[in-house]
Amino acid sequence: MKILYAIQATGNGHLSRAREIIPHLQQFGELDLFVSGDNADVTLPYPIKYKSKGFSIYYNRTGGLDYFRTFKNVKTKRLIKEVKDFPIEQYDLVINDFEFISAYAAHLKRKEIIGFGHQVAFHSPETPRPKRRSYFGEFILKHYAPCHYGIGLHFDEFDDFIKKPIIRSEVRNLDVKQLGHYTIYLGHYQDVEVIKAIKKIKDAQFHLFSKSVKTIDKYKNITVFPINNEMYLESLAGCEGLITGAGFEAPAEAIFLGKKVMALPIKGQYEQLCNAKALKEIGITVVKRINEKFPLKLHNWIQNTNSLQIAYPDQTSQLVEKIFEKEGLKRIKQIPDKGLFGLKLF
CA 101 remoteness from chain centre: 18
Q: What is the pLDDT of residue 157?
A: 96
**Residue 322 maps to which CATH number?**
3.40.50
Q: What is the distance between the alpha carbons of residues 137 and 145, in angstroms, rounded to a whole number?
A: 13
List all residues 6 or more positions away from 322 whose beta carbon is below 8 Å from its beta carbon. Answer: 151, 328, 329
319 and 255 within one domain: no
291 and 160 within one domain: no
Q: What is the distance between the alpha carbons of residues 166 and 95, in angstroms, rounded to a whole number?
A: 16
Query: What is the count of structural domains for the chain?
Result: 2
49 and 175 within one domain: no
Q: Is residue 120 in some structural domain?
A: yes
Q: What is the distance between the alpha carbons of residues 313 and 164, in angstroms, rounded to a whole number?
A: 8
157 and 38 within one domain: yes
CA dihedral 133, 136, 141, 144 (to 10 degrees): 180
Q: What is the distance between the alpha carbons of residues 33 and 15, in angstroms, rounded to a whole number?
A: 11
Q: What is the pLDDT of residue 330?
A: 84
160 and 24 within one domain: yes
Q: Is residue 244 in some structural domain?
A: yes
Q: What is the pLDDT of residue 341?
A: 46
For 296-308, give the DSSP string.
HHHHHHHHHPPP-
Q: Is residue 309 in some structural domain?
A: no
230 and 110 within one domain: no
- The count of C-alpha atoms lying within 13 angstroms of the C-alpha of 344, restricted to the half-sphere facing its C-beta, is 0
142 and 18 within one domain: yes
Query: Would you call 307 exposed, middle or buried from its count of C-beta atoms within 10 A (0-12, 13-18, 19+)?
Result: middle
Q: What is the distance between the alpha carbons of residues 256 and 289, in angstroms, rounded to a whole number?
A: 25
182 and 114 within one domain: no
Q: What is the pLDDT of residue 56?
A: 62
Q: Is residue 310 in some structural domain?
A: no
251 and 220 within one domain: yes
Q: N- to C-terminal Cα distance for the chain?
A: 29
Ramachandran angles phi, psi of 304, nearest 5°: -120, -5
pLDDT, one tens digit for every residue, the chain (346 residues): 999 999 998 777 899 899 999 999 999 999 999 999 876 667 789 999 999 987 666 555 555 555 556 666 666 788 889 999 999 999 999 999 999 999 999 999 999 999 999 999 999 999 999 999 999 899 989 888 999 999 999 999 999 999 999 999 999 999 999 999 999 999 889 999 999 999 999 999 999 999 899 999 998 899 999 999 999 999 999 999 999 999 999 999 999 999 999 999 998 899 999 999 999 999 999 999 999 999 999 999 999 999 999 999 999 999 999 999 877 788 886 555 555 444 444 4
214 and 118 within one domain: no
List all residues 6 or more positions away from 71 whose beta carbon is below 8 Å from its beta carbon. Answer: none
Length of the chain: 346
145 and 177 within one domain: no
334 and 216 within one domain: no
Across the beta sheet with 241-244, the strand order is 217-219, 222-226, 205-210, 181-185, 241-244, 260-263, 285-286
112 closest CA partner among 317, 329, 334, 303: 334
> 283: domain range?
169-304
Q: What is the distance between the alpha carbons of residues 309 and 178, in angstroms, rounded to a whole number?
A: 14
**Residue 269 maps to which CATH number?**
3.40.50.2000
